[in-house]
Amino acid sequence: MIGKGTPVPIALLLALCMGMFLPVSSIYGDGEAPPSDLFLQTVPLQITTSTFIELADWCKRLGLSTEGTRKDLEERLYAYYGISPVKPEEQEKEKETLVQIKSASSTEYYSLPEFDEEYVRLDGGVHLVMEDTKKGTTYTLFADSVLYNRSKKLLSAYGNVRYEIKSQGKEEKFTGSNILINLDTWEGHFLQGQSIRERTISGEPLTFRLRGEFISRSTSDFVLMEGASITSSTSLPPHYRLDAGKIWILGPQEWGVKDATLYVGNIPIFYFPFFFYPGDEVVFHPVFGYKSREGTFFQTTTYLVGNRKNEAGTASFLQLSDMGPNDRVKSLHGIFLKDTEEKLPHPDWYVKLLLDAYSRLGVYGGIEGSLPNWVPKLKTFTFSSGLGISRNLYSGTVPGFTGAYTPYWQEKDGTFSTFWNNTYFLGTELPFRYGGELSVEYVQDPLQLRLKFEQYSDPYFKDDFADRMERIDWSRLLQSVVTVETTPVLKEQLDWFLEGSYSFHTASLTPWITSFRIPRMRTSLNWKSKEIPSAFLREYERVDPTRRYYYPSVLTLPEMSLELGGTLYRYVSTWAAPPPSTAKGSPPSGGKKPSADLRPPWESPEKKEEPPTEELPDLKAPNPLPNATLPPFPVPITFDLTYTLKPTVTYQHSTYPDLWVYPKDVDYQFSYATLTVQNLFQLVTNVRLYDKLIQQQNTLSFSTRYRDVTFWDDSLPANQKRSLELTAYQYRTFSISDAYTFTTYPLLHTELFQNSNVNYSVNAFLFQRSFTALVNEEPLYKDQYLDFSKKTITQHRTQLNLIGNFYPLQPQIQFTYTMPPLDEVFSTIASLGWGPSTTTVSLTQKKIDSQWVNQPLSFQQKLQFAPQVIFNGTYLYDLEENHPTSFAFSATLWYLQFLFNARYTEPYRYEGPSKGWVKQEKKEFIPSDLSFGLSYRYEPDPLWKNRIRLSTGVNSSFSMNLIRYTESSLSVSYDLVFSIYRFLDLKLSTTSKNTAVYQYFPGLAEGVDRSWRNPLVDLAKSFNFFRPKDRYESFFKLSSIKLEAVHHLDDWNLTISYTGTPELLTLSSGRQEFRWNGILGIFLQWKPIPEVKSEFRYDKTGLTY
């Protein structure tokens, strides 16, 4: 009944020692002593966990009846042993702790009567899996030997102990020589133990080992380590370690160390008498630090609703425990917030108070919050508001003060002054700066609303006060640099708006109205910013953040659009299907009432004696005929008359800010208003005959546009008024247009040409009224009626598409004719696809001055045998001039690329150094340019048991202007990567260029009065590092080189890099020359704490570190 890998309660562990060696029948039989109390205590649980077959077998061996249900078998066993069944509540309690014995070589049971204790001993490769079902935690134990004290529920393990704990997706591992576990409380005590924790730091996985002479784990999952040591070094002895008298891990992100010393090798580097990092957050989440501009800062954040979001810190190995989701309700204990068992009902909600102080800038206080779904259908609700008291900060040194910035301004008499910032709101001066935002989104189908409001005293407000932290970055204490100044990011505009959309239910109005919605209704106020001219500012005011202020720009009230659509008429012809045929000799039953003799199927008639059937020969029934489905007959006529109405109205008020110099000048008066109205009504007719056989669509559109400008005051200059009025006049239009399309598929029911079609389309303005001129300050409009001219006909085209399906051939011919009154154009495109080949021939003819003029005839051929093997060719021939126009050929062969172009153009001739290349007058069809390319990368299999990896790549390109062949270049880029696992990464990349490749061809070199040069000799000179003159003479010039070596020193990364490029300098004499610019860098970084690093850099400016 109890086998390998079967979960059993703890009490069954005691019975296992007997069950593994004795058959059940010998436990309690004739002539045997009665069973022990321990066995009788385990029998109810064995009965409960046994299957029906196991119970029947058990009864059979005891000589009991095996008939009846499971309950009958259980009652017989209970009666036989004279015991009572286990009560459900006791059974559930026992099931809270389950044990699986995965493996054990031997089992022994014994008791100590003098101590009233009973023991079970397991030896030889013991593997136990224990489960706390109440907490959902699994404990796995590996050991050489295990001893279980049943009386005290203590489990001891000895020899090569490995203890693993898995709970809620997290895993802890302990190893040691001995362990003692209390199975009631799950407390554990290790001797000479070790805990392993995996962490990823800067993208590199590291394994941290926490060793201790004594490790204990409490009921509350607290871990205490005495005589502890922490390291991620794999070497023995480790290259670095943190030794501590005691280490506490009290919870997620809560830990402490006492008497800790950081060693590099055997050299002590740093000593921590005591350090405690509270996992329980301080209620106001203090953060302190230093910024080069604002100075020393102290920031606090107090959460009124919700919790701080956990984020990974940067102190690396000092983070001894993983962070949880921080989704528990907090309780206040002094100044600390402690987690409770209750989870937050809304983990994404938060409301927090902010209070910051800066030694130079000033102070800031505010509130922020986000309460999505605060009320039903309120999808988004975020807000922020704050006040800042700040002063001007000046860059540069002031006598007696250090730092790049200071709040003190030196007056002409030598005294110092501080200038605090004042702002204006609605013309009232305020002694502080302010800012706030509100964003709300409400979704309740069919209504959607979105509100946004933002207001700031100046564009610099967010840049000064929004850069905040809620967690101390302890790694900054290890760095010698501070937060440097960055370019300010200004908020140049503000937006206030309320917008939404609404869709009306139209089910009861269908088909007359199928769509009725307001896609956009919006009211908005746009603010822009401007700066006080420096001429109006005192010298000390030129850094004042309030020198730039907001002013109202455009008020939109309202902006609304409407969409209305439906079907006015719909007609679908139907065919009267013939009635189904009936079997021969049976009359049809359609339309007749059921016979009165019919009876329900559940009523059985009187059984009648049936005559004996005649024996038939053994015949095989024929296979049933397959279902034959006929294609649906196309609908003869489908007619739809639909409409769409889209009106839009926008009313905007605008200001004229040129008269405002200071913030107090803003009077919030609008100078003019613009009314814009747009209307579009479309009447669409769709006719389909026999599905796709004939299709017609006609769209009749009525469009109006109107704009009017109203001036509220005389502040606007006359020329700007005229410009606004002229723009409004030009915007006003009224038009009636029609778009007609006719398409037919005459060969629809043929298999070979079913996709062939004929298409005719015409778009025209039936009537159009538009602005022409301004006469005596009055607009003059002109009416234009349909007159079959280019002004009214915008499209007039006929197209024939012949598409064949002759597998594997795919021919296609397209004829397109653009008809009068437009410029007549006739084009023909023929293509043939066959396997990897696609051939296309096209010809276009334009009618110019009553004459048909042929455009260049185009031939295109494409061959694609594989994604990496492609050939393309395009040839254009001018039929009018009887000469080729251009030819382009390209090829891709795996790693190679080739391109060749020729065109009909003026050739060039070289006429000596004084004249150079001179353009000739007569055009010729000549090669124009040529290029080759190679891109290849080689990555062989790793060597030396996967320890060595090598990869190399080359990218080369050659291009030559065949008309002026001195314009040629060859570029070669090469890189090599060599890696030895956990020892060295070597990277070399170079790029070389040659801009005189033509001299390697004797005929080309002599054509420009240059001597031929042997390319092999020239290449060899470029690599002659022992003779600089050869490298100067070679045409191969190194344009860049980069060498980087990363030496992995177990816990450190040492990087040595060199980068060199030629730099063109202009000397004082005006002469230009190239000089080599080399940069040497040495970078050392500690992997466990990447913030601990050192960098040296040497370039033309000298050494920096």
Separation of CA 623 from chain center: 58
Contact (CB, 8 A) for 191 and 181: no
| Token duo for residue 8 | 């059993």
- pLDDT given for residue 23 in this prediction: 36
Of 171, 221, 163, the C-alpha closest to 190 is 163
Low-confidence ranges of the chain (pLDDT < 50): 1-33, 93, 313-318, 320, 478, 480-484, 576-593, 595-596, 602, 608
Residue 369's SS3 state is strand
Report which DSSP code applies to 804: -
- For the chain, domain boundaries: 1-94, 897-935+942-1049
Contact (CB, 8 A) for 666 and 660: yes
- pLDDT given for residue 181 in this prediction: 87
- Strand ranges (E), 378-446: 378-390, 394-395, 405-406, 409-410, 416-417, 423-425, 428-430, 433-444
Predicted structure pTM score = 0.66
- pLDDT given for residue 19 in this prediction: 37
How is 612-640 classified by DSSP, letter by letter?
Answer: PPPPPP--PPPPPPPP--PPPPPPSEEEE
Give bridge partners of residue 1085 from the DSSP assignment.
Answer: 1053, 1093
Contact (CB, 8 A) for 1049 and 240: no
Angle between helices 70-81 and 37-49 in degrees, nearest 10? 180
How do beta strands 433-444 and 378-390 pair? antiparallel
Q: How far is CA 653 from CA 35, 552, 1009, in A?
A: 100, 10, 73
Count how many Cα atoms sit within 13 Å of the Cα of residue 1024 in the half-sphere of its side chain.
15
- pLDDT given for residue 223 in this prediction: 82
- pLDDT given for residue 586 in this prediction: 45
136: left (phi over 0), alpha (psi -120 to 50) or beta: left
Contact (CB, 8 A) for 419 and 540: yes
| Token duo for residue 574 | 């139907």
Whole-number Å distance between alpha carbons of 422 and 544: 9
Of 631, 460, 438, 618, the C-alpha closest to 529 is 460
- Please name the amino acid found at residue 999: Q
The count of other CB atoms within 10 Å of the CB of residue 559 is: 18
- pLDDT given for residue 526 in this prediction: 95
| Token duo for residue 222 | 């607290």
The count of other CB atoms within 10 Å of the CB of residue 160 is: 14
- pLDDT given for residue 170 in this prediction: 74
Dihedral sign for Cα 214, 220, 222, 223, please.
positive
Nearest 5 degrees, angle CA 611-CA 612-CA 614? 125
Contact (CB, 8 A) for 465 and 437: no
- pLDDT given for residue 592 in this prediction: 47
Angle between helices 70-81 and 52-61 in degrees, nearest 10? 40
Q: Write b or e for each residue in 1072-1102: b if 16 or more Cβ atoms lie within 10 A of its Cβ, otherwise e.
A: eeeeeeeeebebbbbbbbbbeeeeeeeeeee
Whole-number Å distance between alpha carbons of 245 and 253: 20
Contact (CB, 8 A) for 806 and 833: no
- pLDDT given for residue 449 in this prediction: 95
Separation of CA 477 from chain center: 33
